[in-house]
């Protein structure tokens, strides 16, 4: 009997539990159903806030989907679902439990539209929901979100989270979030003062933004404290600013060097004014595009390796085209610079139009592999991965080229032919072929440059045009015939350009650099590192 009573008690207890759960579910579902009737973004935003206020962790899935634009309601009965589109049909999922709920054609439902302010509301709501998540990384994101979007209503939740937090990094972030929320709350001034002090220690741009915004509203002693903190942050940012300019300069310099390094061989070493140099870069970029296209359709898992695969191919493609140009046109024009200039310019137009005819005039999409996307923070300096890799890559190419020129027998032949052609020929070097392969090497390196440049610039038939002037500038400035000159020339032009840009603007900055180069060439016609000796006079 006792036993029976106990069972019935338990059953009764379970039933009430279930009932409250069901009631909760019903009210959440009723709120969710309102998505179908919201007339504008602010009404949808209200629903998001209402859902967030319920505080059920299951809402997260729905909100995430809403932020991605994957929530829709059926046109026939206004039932709300999470959808995953595939072509013209979509799989439906229950908004609360995430269970599959069949499929429907695209035309049968309407998507709940989201805009930026709604996305912000969703981000904040998710931040509040995930403050107690299992994964510290998720909690950290939540704390960061709350730090960036201070809301006095969250203050108590944050304080509770700080009390129970065990992870030090998350705890520090939560303290920051608390401080930013305290500033906008109606807490006493003493507490705000501590918050300002705490934030003043952080010294990054986001904090500056928060403090400046608050500084406008504060008064008295508090305002002085804010001003002091703002001043301190600005001073530290100014220091980083100089570092930033150097880094941008190095990054621009590496792009210039990459574009110019092939020209340093064809123009610098061989003396051929090669106007089609930019088009070799473009061919390299298009090779990358073709490689990525094939990988996308045939072997998507290889995508992160696409650049590594494209490198040798681009070298071969551009090198082969270079070889053909040298054998077909340039070898008849040695010693006639004007004719070479015109002929290679014609070749560049032909190559451009050929690419335009084959691939179409529009930009082609070349993706960044995952290891080249995004940025990382170094102090207050934000360094993007693709730029960093391009700097590393450029220096590697430069080192390899230097090795080939100085340490291999082929490099020796090459230098011999450029320094004294007749003597080299007498020694049994087949000068015409050395010429051909030197030109092919220069073109091939331009092709490699194209692979790297496809990561930061757009891949279109005009790609090469943008680099040809800069490349000549670098080679002439650095000193014709000297690889080290090209390196120093490229980096100094890059850094000077980037230091001028914040003050003079991009347009004027470029003009000033050009004027400086003209003045410099007047003074030193042979560039930074002029070659000395008989070769120059020949």
Partner 1 sequence: MRGYNLPFKGLIKAGAFAAGMLAASSVFAQEDTIKVGVLHSLSGTMAISETTLKDTMLFLIDEQNKKGGLLGKKLEAVVVDPASDWPLFAEKARELISVNKVSAVFGCWTSVSRKSVLPVFEELNNILFYPVQYEGEESQRNVFYTGAAPNQQAIPAVDYLMNDEGVERWVLAGTDYVYPRTTNKILEAYLQAKGVKAEDIMINYTPFGHSDWQTIVSDIKKFGSAGKKTAVVSTINGDANVPFYKELGNAGIKAEDIPVVAFSVGEEELAGLDTAPLVGHLTAWNYFQSVDVPENTAFIEAWRTFIKNDKRVTNDPMEAHVIGFNMWVKAVEKAGTTDPDAVIDALIGVSVPNLTGGFSTMMPNHHITKPVLIGEIQADGQMETVWQTSGLVVGDEWSDYLPDSKDLISDWRAPMSCGNFNVATGKCGGKGVN
Q: Does 87 bind partner 1 (CB under 8 A)?
A: no
Closer CB to partner 1, 212 or 431, in the complex:
212
CB of 124 to partner 1, least distance (A): 10
Which position among 93, 109, 214, 315 is part of the footprint of partner 1 (CB under 8 A)? 214
Whether 504 contacts 514, CB under 8 Å: no
Q: 89: helix, coil or strand?
A: strand
**Could you tell me the two tokens for 363?**
């930009």
* 364: three-class secondary structure by DSSP: strand
367 makes contact with partner 1 (CB under 8 A):
yes
- Does residue 236 touch partner 1 according to CB under 8 A? no
Please state the closest distance from residue 64 (CB atom) to partner 1, in A. Answer: 14
Query: Which is nearer to partner 1, 210 or 441 (by Cβ)?
Result: 210
CA 351-356-360 angle, to 5 degrees, is 160
Query: Could you give the count of Cα atoms lying within 13 Å of 113 in the half-sphere of its Cβ?
Result: 8
Token pair for 278 = 């930019």
Q: How far apart, in whole angstroms, are the C-alpha atoms of residue 312 and residue 345? A: 26
* 244, 279, 326, 435: which one binds partner 1 (CB under 8 A): 244
Q: How far apart are CA 255 and CA 209, in angstroms?
A: 33
Q: Provide, rounded to whole angstroms, the least separation between the CB of residue 287 and partner 1.
A: 17
Query: Which region among 182-190, 278-286, 324-332, 380-388 touches partner 1 (by CB under 8 A)?
Result: 380-388
Using only C-alpha atoms, the chain has a radius of gyration, in whole angstroms, of: 32
Q: Does 97 bind partner 1 (CB under 8 A)?
A: no
What phi, psi does 99 have (nearest 5°)?
-75, 145
Residue 11 CA to its chain's centroid (Å): 58
Among 16, 97, 505, 524, interactor with partner 1 by CB under 8 A: 505
Q: Are residues 475 and 267 in contact, defined by beta-carbon separation less than 8 angstroms? A: yes
Can residue 379 be called a binding residue for partner 1 (CB under 8 A)?
no
Interface mask toward partner 1 for 112-151; x: CB under 8 A = -x-xxx-xx--x----------------------------
Which lies closer to partner 1 via its Cβ, residue 25 or residue 457?
A: 457
Helix/strand/coil percent split, the chain, to 5: 75, 5, 20
Residues with Cβ < 8 Å from 196, sequence gap 6 or more? Answer: 179, 183, 211, 214, 222, 225, 226, 229
Interface segment toward partner 1; rule CB under 8 A; list 96-104, 247-255, 277-285, 391-399? 247-255
Is residue 69 part of the contact set for partner 1 (CB under 8 A)? yes
What is the contact surface with partner 1 in residues (CB under 8 A)? 41, 69, 113, 115-117, 119-120, 123, 205-206, 208-216, 244-245, 248, 251-252, 255, 352-353, 356, 360-365, 367-368, 373-375, 382, 384-387, 456-462, 465-466, 498, 501-502, 505-507, 510
């Amino acid at each position: 009997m006792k036993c029976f009573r106990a069972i019935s008690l338990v059953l009764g207890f379970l039933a009430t539990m279930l009932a409250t759960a069901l009631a909760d579910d019903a009210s959440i579902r009723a709120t969710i159903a309102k998505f179908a009737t919201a007339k504008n973004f602010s009404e949808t935003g209200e629903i998001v806030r209402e859902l967030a206020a319920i505080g059920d962790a299951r809402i997260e899935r729905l909100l995430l989907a809403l932020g991605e634009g994957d929530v829709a309601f059926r046109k026939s009965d206004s039932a709300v679902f999470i959808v995953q589109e595939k072509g013209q049909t979509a799989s439906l999922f229950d908004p609360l439990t995430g269970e599959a709920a069949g499929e429907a054609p695209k035309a049968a439902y309407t998507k709940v539209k989201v805009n930026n302010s709604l996305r912000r509301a969703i981000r904040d709501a998710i931040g509040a929901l995930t403050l107690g998540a299992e994964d510290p990384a998720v909690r950290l994101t939540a704390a960061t979100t709350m730090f960036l979007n201070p809301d006095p209503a969250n203050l108590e939740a944050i304080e509770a989270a700080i009390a129970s937090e065990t992870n030090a990094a998350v705890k520090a972030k939560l303290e920051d979030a608390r401080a930013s929320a305290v500033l906008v709350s109606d807490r006493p001034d003493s507490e705000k003062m501590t918050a300002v002090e705490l934030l003043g220690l952080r010294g990054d741009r986001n904090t500056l933004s928060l403090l400046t915004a608050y500084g406008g509203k504060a008064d008295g002693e508090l305002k002085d404290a804010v001003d002091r903190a703002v001043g301190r942050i600005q001073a530290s940012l100014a220091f980083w600013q100089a570092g930033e300019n150097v880094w941008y300069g190095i990054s621009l310099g590496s792009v210039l060097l990459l574009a110019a390094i092939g020209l340093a061989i064809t123009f610098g070493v061989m003396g051929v004014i090669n106007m089609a140099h930019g088009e070799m870069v473009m061919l390299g970029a298009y090779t990358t595009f073709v490689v990525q296209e094939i990988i996308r359709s045939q072997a998507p898992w290889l995508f992160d390796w696409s650049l590594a695969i494209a490198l040798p191919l681009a070298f071969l493609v551009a090198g082969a085209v270079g070889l053909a140009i040298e054998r077909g046109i340039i070898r008849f024009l040695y010693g006639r610079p004007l004719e070479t200039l015109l002929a290679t310019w014609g070749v560049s137009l032909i190559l451009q139009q050929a690419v335009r005819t084959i691939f179409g005039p529009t930009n082609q999409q070349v993706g960044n592999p995952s290891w080249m996307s995004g940025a990382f923070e170094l102090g207050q300096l934000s360094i993007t991965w693709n730029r960093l890799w391009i700097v590393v890559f450029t220096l590697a190419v430069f080192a390899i080229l230097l090795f080939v020129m100085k340490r291999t027998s082929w490099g020796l032949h090459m230098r011999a032919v450029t320094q004294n052609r007749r003597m080299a020929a007498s020694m049994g070097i087949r000068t015409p072929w050395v010429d051909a392969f030197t030109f092919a090497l220069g073109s091939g390196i331009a092709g490699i440059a194209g692979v790297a440049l496809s990561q930061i610039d757009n891949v279109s038939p005009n790609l090469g045009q943008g680099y040809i002037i800069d490349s000549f500038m670098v080679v002439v400035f650095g000193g014709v015939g000297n690889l080290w000159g090209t390196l120093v020339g490229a980096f100094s032009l890059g850094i000077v350009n980037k230091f001028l840009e914040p003050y003079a603007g991009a347009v004027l900055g470029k003009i000033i650099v050009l004027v400086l180069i003209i003045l410099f060439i007047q003074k030193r016609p042979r560039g930074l590192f002029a070659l000395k000796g008989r070769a120059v006079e020949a």
